[in-house]
Structures are given as structure tokens and as C-alpha cells.
Amino acid sequence: MAKDAKSAKKETPKTVNLRKLKPGDRFAYKNVGYGYTTYEEGSDVIGVKKGVLFTHTFDKMGMMWNGETWQFDSGSGLVTSVVRIEDVPAGQL
């Protein structure tokens, strides 16, 4: 896909909601790796600085926007991303 076509992709309300997280917003961290998927409730947004989301959990390196959500890749097999609370499967929080 050409870069222009990709950047022209229209954001969904879900994507806009995640991209514009602010202090006090509720969300969940989705942790994927080592054959497991887990969810943790989050509401610890500090803010977005220079295109990087900082939370109390990710206060040093922050999370990068991948076009759909905020994500942190540990580089060792564990990837943490942000999902809306309502997108967490029942009984997983």
C-alpha cells in the first residue's frame, strides 16, 4: 500500500478515542506474548508528548502509536497495547 493511501485511511471513532487518551480516561492494557494474552485495567495516562503516550506504567519510554492503538514492544516477546474497556472479553479484567 502506498504511503499516501495509508495516511488517507479514515480513522474510526474507536481509533480516535484511543489516540486522544487523556488523564482520567479508562482503558485496558492488553499483554500478548509467551503464549498468553492478559488484560489489566488502566487509567494512569500522564499525557502525549511528541507523539508518544506516557502513563504511570510506561513513564520512561512511553508507548508508540501504530495507526490503530498505542503499543509498547519489549523486544523480548512481550507486546503491550491499549484497548478500550468495552473491547476486553468478558471476565478478563
CA gap 75, 32 in Å, rounded: 12
Span 57-82, pLDDT tens digits: 999 999 999 999 999 999 999 999 99
Q: Give phi and psi for 8, each to the nearest 5.
A: -80, -10
pTM for this one?
0.84
What average pLDDT does this structure show over 40-49?
95
